[in-house]
């Protein structure tokens, strides 16, 4: 079977975009693992499917599968690429969209459109801090704890102070004094797979530079170390604002570039950043 695709990225967080409006593709997890492989496939952090939504209030439905085949609830960089893809392919002329995701209805808006690169602002909704949204194993923590702010997590005889937030999917934010000294690939997977998180977690290491600027490195659940993470940037900003570390409009500097994150009067997280088209083609899926 031949599958047509677009390769796109948001600040280096790259995706294989597939038009699945007719839903003819089978075995999404297996296909994602095959196509995302950087040696034997196209190579990407994840695979995004463009589907029809059955909800009257939604324009389209987005599904995203990580490079390990697991399905994520949402992806901030991915949904910017999703909106951009719709316009490149003339699937809509709406600048403001309502997209169904596993995390609910997300609203991206095309601010500046060019086929090669667009700027997209996304209303990511209100951050959640409850243990339920973080899928925390409550048997492992004190019954009086209702959120993970400044929570000590012990790994390999070392204590990490984590701050939990959900912006569509779960995140654990750790503040550090020197980001350059953090071994993301060593620590990240141990926190991601810690039994405290029943469904795993994304991990952000954050160094506050100024009241309007934070440097962040990311370990993404199901994808590993990535150059950027939109939901992670929003989660980091949300926790930092809640703890009065930064102002309500903050630049999150990721290895792939900056995202502008703000929290509006309704406490919704607004993310603004680029989406870039790389190339398009088709690939044989080996009978899948």
CATH number for the domain spanning 160: value is 3.10.310.10
Residues 147 and 219 in one domain: yes
> Is 229 annotated in the active site?
yes
According to DSSP, the residues that pair with 147 across neighbouring strands are 130
In this structure, is residue 280 part of a structural domain?
A: yes
pLDDT given at position 155: 93
Cα–Cα distance between 12 and 256 in angstroms, integer?
5
| Nearest partner of 186 among 207, 167, 171, 205, judged by Cα | 205
User: Same domain, yes or no, for 97 and 201?
Assistant: no
pTM: 0.95
- Catalytic one of 36, 75, 81, 234: 75
Does residue 24 have a pLDDT over 90?
A: no
Q: Is 131 domain-assigned?
A: no
Same domain? 145 vs 262:
yes
Strand partners, 62: 50
pLDDT for 148 = 97
Tell me: pLDDT of 120 over 70. Answer: yes
Question: Which residues contact residue 39 at a Cβ distance below 8 angstroms, ignoring those fewer than 6 apart?
Answer: none
Compute the distance between CA of residue 132 and CA of residue 134 in angstroms, rounded to an integer: 5
pLDDT tens-place string over residues 121-169: 999 999 999 999 999 999 999 989 999 999 999 999 999 999 999 999 9
The verdict on 147 and 263 lying in the same domain is yes
Q: Are residues 251 and 213 in the same domain?
A: yes
DSSP code, position 137: -
The answer to whether 16 and 7 have CB atoms below 8 angstroms apart is yes
Q: What is the pLDDT of residues 35-93, one digit of tens each?
A: 999 999 999 999 999 999 999 999 999 999 999 999 999 999 999 999 999 999 999 99
Residue of 36, 81, 229, 234 marked catalytic? 229
Tell whether 130 is covered by a domain. Answer: no
Residues 196 and 117 in one domain: no
197 and 278 in one domain? no
Q: Does residue 95 register a pLDDT over 90?
A: yes
Tell whether the model's pLDDT for residue 119 goes beyond 70: yes
**Is 75 annotated as catalytic?**
yes
Instruction: With respect to residue 129, please indicate whether it lies within any of the assigned structural domains.
Output: no
| Whole-number Å distance between alpha carbons of 277 and 117 | 6
Are residue 154 and residue 103 in the same domain, yes or no? Answer: no
**pLDDT number for residue 288:** 55
Whether 127 is in a domain gets the answer no
Indicate whether 184 and 79 sit together in one domain. no
Same domain, 152 and 35: no
* pLDDT for res 287: 55
| Within-domain flag for 128 | no
- For the chain, the domain total comes to 2
Q: What are phi and psi of 169, to 5 degrees?
A: -140, 165
**172 in the same domain as 113:** no
Is 148 within the bounds of a domain? yes
Give yes or no: residues 258 and 159 share one domain: yes
Q: What is the pLDDT of residues 209-268, one digit of tens each?
A: 999 999 999 999 999 999 999 999 999 999 999 999 999 999 999 999 999 999 999 999
Instruction: Write down the pLDDT at residue 104.
Output: 96
Residue 187 located in a structural domain: yes
Domain that holds residue 34: 2-121+274-284
């Amino acid at each position: 079977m031949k599958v047509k695709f677009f390769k796109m990225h948001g600040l280096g967080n790259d995706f294989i975009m597939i038009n699945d409006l007719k839903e003819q593709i089978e075995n999404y997890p297996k296909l994602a693992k095959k196509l995302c492989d950087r040696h034997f496939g196209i190579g990407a952090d994840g695979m995004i499917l463009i589907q029809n939504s059955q909800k009257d209030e939604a324009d389209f439905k987005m599904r995203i599968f990580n490079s390990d085949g697991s399905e994520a609830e949402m992806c901030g960089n991915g949904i910017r690429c999703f909106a951009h893809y719709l316009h490149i392919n003339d699937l809509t002329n709406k600048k403001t969209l309502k997209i169904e995701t596993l995390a609910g209805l997300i609203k991206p808006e095309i601010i500046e459109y060019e086929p090669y690169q667009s700027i997209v602002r996304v209303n990511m909704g209100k951050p959640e801090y409850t243990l339920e949204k973080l899928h925390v194993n409550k048997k492992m923590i004190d019954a009086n704890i209702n959120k993970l702010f400044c929570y000590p997590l012990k790994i390999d005889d070392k204590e990490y102070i984590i701050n939990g937030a959900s912006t569509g999917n779960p995140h654990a934010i750790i503040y550090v004094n020197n980001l350059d000294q953090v071994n993301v690939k060593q620590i990240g997977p141990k926190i991601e797979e810690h039994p405290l998180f029943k469904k795993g977690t994304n991990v952000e290491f954050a160094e506050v530079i100024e009241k309007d600027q934070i440097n962040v490195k990311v370990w993404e659940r199901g994808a590993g170390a990535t150059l950027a993470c939109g939901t992670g940037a929003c989660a980091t900003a949300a926790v930092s604002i809640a703890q009065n570390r930064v102002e309500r409009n903050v630049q999150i500097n990721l290895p792939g570039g900056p995202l502008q994150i703000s929290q509006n009067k309704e406490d919704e997280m607004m993310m603004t950043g680029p989406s870039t088209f790389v190339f398009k083609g088709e690939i044989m899926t080996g009978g899948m």
